[in-house]
Structure 1
Amino acid sequence: MAVVSHDEWIRRATLIGKKAEPMVAEAEKTGCFSQELRNYVHQNEMHKVLRPLQYGGSGMGAFTFSEIVRTVANYNASAAWLVYFVILHEQWVAYLDEKGRQEVYDSNGLVGDIFMPLGQVEYVDGGVRLTGQWSFGSGVLWDEWMGLGAIVEVPGEDPQPCLVNVNKKDFQVIEDWNPLGLRGTGSHSVKVDDVFVPWHHVLPVLKVKNKAEPVGGHYSNEPIFKAPFMAFFCLGFPAISTGIAQRVTKDLKTRMKARQRILYNMKESESPIAQRNLAEVMVKLDAIEAMNKKYIDQLEEWIAAGTPLVNEEEKNKMGAWRSHIGKEASELAFHAINLLGASATGSGDPLETAARDAFMVYIHLGQIYEDNMMAYGRTQFGLSGHPLL
């Protein structure tokens, strides 16, 4: 695969967003975007955005990755979530033992994961046998591989949370996804029963996070190895929130401009109150966009300097920024509904869908506001960002 330019990736993201938008109602109803959209995403090779050049990828950095996700989120957050994860999950594949990463990349399948270490393992010759059930497997109906969380004692390493990579022929999907928002992500549960997984498909997550080293050593000078793992891994969350906020603000302005206030016998655009309210929303969007840019700029600065390991304050600052963006975007979306009233509350209304989606991004496990603010606050007093460390 030839290296694809930033502009070309954004063009493809726009096409995917436009294709996904008319599919939203059906995806909300069925609980996942269709295989048709999956195939379109795959044909556009979105899974190769971060993949190292050595393995036929494009080796892009934080700015391009974030802009792809934000662009799709301008059309629908669930579609953006899926595209984000299609791209993202090849990041951890690049840290697998060389044999494992080669097998995954050669399969050309899409990859998912569930980090929660809920699996039970039995140690056998050459690897482990995995059993368990995990919830929230975003995009699992699209995926060829799933990295499933378990506490594993990998040879030569301390027991730690690991991703145990399982092929779709060896896992069962339990279609139980029926949430408030992000309904089109197909985040169903996954069940595995006594499946053998060789060591080259087991990723020790703490080693990757704390040492920034792929299993078996570094092999290329790619952006995904030059910035802190989790800060890079999570950059899609603020990108989606920002994209939602942009879509909401655009729709709100259009609808306010066209709205006639019968009670006051005037156009909404003529109301000083409406003018003030819209200005406030626009400024809130400016602040969200600015913080998202700040997040990307920090990652790009680390990539340029080759800084995969940072101190506690810097690491937890990124989590606080992500949570703040998610909170502000969620509040902006519900405020937009409040400004338009009942006309924006119908099930399937773009603003109603966007508000539910924004809220789900805001409350995601990796985005929990109180936890991330506490962690960042602890570092201001010279403490670990984690209360148990």
Structure 2
Amino acid sequence: MTNPVLEAVTQRAEEIAALGPSNEALGRLDDQAAKVLRETGVIRMLQPKTHGGLEVHPREFAETVMKIASLDGSTGWVAGVVGVHPWEMAFADPRVQQEVWGENQDTWMASPYAPMGVARPVEGGYIFNGRWQFSSGTDHCDWIFLGGILGDAEGNRTQPPQQLHLILPRSDYEIVEDSWNVVGLRGTGSKDIIVKDAFVPDYRVIPVAKVFDGSAVREAGLTNPTYLLPFSVAFPLGITASVIGIAEGALAHHMTYQKGRVQITGTKIKDDPYVLYAISEAAAEIAAARAALLDNVSRMYDAVVAGREITFDDRAVGRRTQVQAAWRAVRAVDEIVARSGGNAMRVDNPIQRFWRDAHVGLTHAIHVPGAVFHVSALTQLGIEPPQGPMRSMI
């Protein structure tokens, strides 16, 4: 199976890698880095064909994100996060699709989905207020998905909370400059967002319950298996793919650096069996993490094609696989960085940047193992997991 987008990315690999330091210095993607992503088509991989998208197999999307992240972590992260948003937009109301893509099919959408806002119902829609953190790639986006809670007439959160995904144009929200000052993934520009009394019409709002139970997709009449995947499979894919790609990039820089390195003892790395063992073990672990993530999404896709229901148990085990893949890859990075010597920590050595990026990527909520591992173990024991927050990310 050919992947034209991956081929286009590979042709511009040196350019993507060279822009890494600039991205980090700017605290957002360099305009040229964003231009490369637009020109290669990565953000349109999961976009519907009705609006110029490619509707690729999700495995192809993940492989492409991994490649980009192996060249520069921040560029890969933005590709993975922003690249998933067209997947959900595919089953949004056709009116908002036209607003977003009608004039420019390369329009990007940011997020986050965390329900940090309150949407107060009014005639024809909602009045929306809130503040969010971690809006990756937001400087290069003209629209945004934001998570919110349905409010009552006074703007108080309803109980039990009813979550919504609200879609807003750039004119309706504020990007907070200087709100992204972190140790890794600095080039993602994952800044804070503020919304004050924005009116969001009904057709730009998707109930989260319909996203999670698949009814939003069915109501939209979509038949491509890519869109029939559960949200908990599609949403983490680009994020975890970028972390694994970053680990691959760290390994590649480590190998280049170690090839001619001589330790303070005078021993060449090629003659040190302990370091060579660590390199091989780390390489195998990163390869295994990659294989696990790609196999997981491929099996889910194949199940949809076969018409088989993806159960809650399936989703729980799939999330466990996805989370563990990220942790496995980053632990392997730690093993090789610890054997790279002090000079690997110099700012002009890319190894330290990939190391920092990997760890910051692992802190994303989608990689927290606690509840996911708990629930997946219960399902495999044949025990019904409790309702509530433990099930919310599955």
Is the TM-score greater than 0.5? yes
The AA in structure 1 aligned to 2:267 is: M
Distance 2:286 2:43 in 1: 29
Instruction: Tell me the equivalent position of 2:253.
Output: 251
Distance 1:385 1:287 in 2: 32
The reply to whether residue 88 of structure 1 matches residue 89 of structure 2 is no
Distance 1:163 1:348 in 2: 41
Instruction: Tell me the equivalent position of 2:9.
Output: 13
Q: CA deviation at 1:24?
A: 1.5
The AA in structure 2 aligned to 1:278 is: I
Mapping of residues 1-389 of structure 1, within 5 Å: 6-15=2-11, 17-108=13-104, 109-152=107-150, 160-175=162-177, 176-214=179-217, 217-263=219-265, 265-307=266-308, 309-381=309-381, 382-384=383-385, 388=389
Q: CA deviation at 1:170?
A: 1.4
Distance 1:213 1:102 in 2: 18
Unaligned runs of 5+ in 1: none
Contact 1:120 1:132 (8 Å CA) reproduced: yes
| Cα deviation digits, residues 263-316 of structure 1 (max 9, x gap) | 2x3322112222322222222233223312322322331342245x52222111
Q: CA deviation at 1:12?
A: 2.2
Distance 2:2 2:162 in 1: 37
Contact 1:145 1:168 (8 Å CA) reproduced: yes
The AA in structure 1 aligned to 2:279 is: L
SS of 2:47 mapped into structure 1: coil
Contact 1:152 1:161 (8 Å CA) reproduced: yes
Distance 2:87 2:305 in 1: 18
Identical counterparts, % of pairs: 23
Q: 1:129 to 1:16 in 2, by over 3 A?
A: farther
Q: 1:39 to 1:246 in 2, by over 3 A?
A: closer
Out of 315-324 and 297-306, give the one that drifted further: 297-306
Q: CA deviation at 1:103?
A: 2.0
| Cα deviation digits, residues 349-388 of structure 1 (max 9, x gap) | 2111111111122121111022321221222232227655
Distance 1:49 1:258 in 2: 40
Q: CA deviation at 1:346?
A: 1.6
RMSD across aligned positions (CA):
2.2
SS of 1:151 mapped into structure 2: strand
Contact 2:73 2:357 (8 Å CA) reproduced: yes
SS of 1:163 mapped into structure 2: strand
Contact 2:48 2:86 (8 Å CA) reproduced: no
Contact 2:120 2:150 (8 Å CA) reproduced: no
Contact 2:92 2:220 (8 Å CA) reproduced: no
| Cα deviation digits, residues 154-179 of structure 1 (max 9, x gap) | 9xxx9621111110011110020011
The AA in structure 2 aligned to 1:336 is: I
Q: CA deviation at 1:144?
A: 0.7
Distance 2:386 2:181 in 1: 33
Contact 2:304 2:310 (8 Å CA) reproduced: no
Q: CA deviation at 1:153?
A: 7.3
Q: CA deviation at 1:188?
A: 0.2
Distance 2:133 2:317 in 1: 28
Distance 2:255 2:207 in 1: 48
Instruction: Tell me the equivalent position of 2:156.
Output: none
The AA in structure 2 aligned to 1:199 is: D
Q: 1:133 to 1:312 in 2, by over 3 A?
A: same
Out of 228-237 and 44-53, give the one that drifted further: 44-53
- Please list every run of at least 4 consecutive aligned residues from structure 1 whose deviation after the TM superposition is greater than 6 angstroms: none
The AA in structure 1 aligned to 2:379 is: T
Q: 1:275 to 1:34 in 2, by over 3 A?
A: closer
The AA in structure 1 aligned to 2:134 is: F
SS of 1:339 mapped into structure 2: coil
Q: 1:348 to 1:174 in 2, by over 3 A?
A: farther
Distance 2:386 2:376 in 1: 6
Unaligned runs of 5+ in 2: 153-159
- Tell me the number of residue pairs that the alignment of Structure 1 and Structure 2 aligns: 379
Distance 1:79 1:15 in 2: 16
Distance 1:29 1:97 in 2: 39
Distance 2:269 2:244 in 1: 26
Contact 1:33 1:184 (8 Å CA) reproduced: yes
Q: TM-score, length-normalised on structure 1?
A: 0.90
Q: TM-score, length-normalised on structure 2?
A: 0.89
Q: 1:289 to 1:122 in 2, by over 3 A?
A: closer
Distance 2:315 2:292 in 1: 16
Q: CA deviation at 1:255?
A: 2.3
Out of 342-351 and 40-49, give the one that drifted further: 40-49
Contact 1:312 1:385 (8 Å CA) reproduced: no
SS of 1:213 mapped into structure 2: helix
Q: CA deviation at 1:189?
A: 0.5
Instruction: Tell me the equivalent position of 2:155.
Output: none
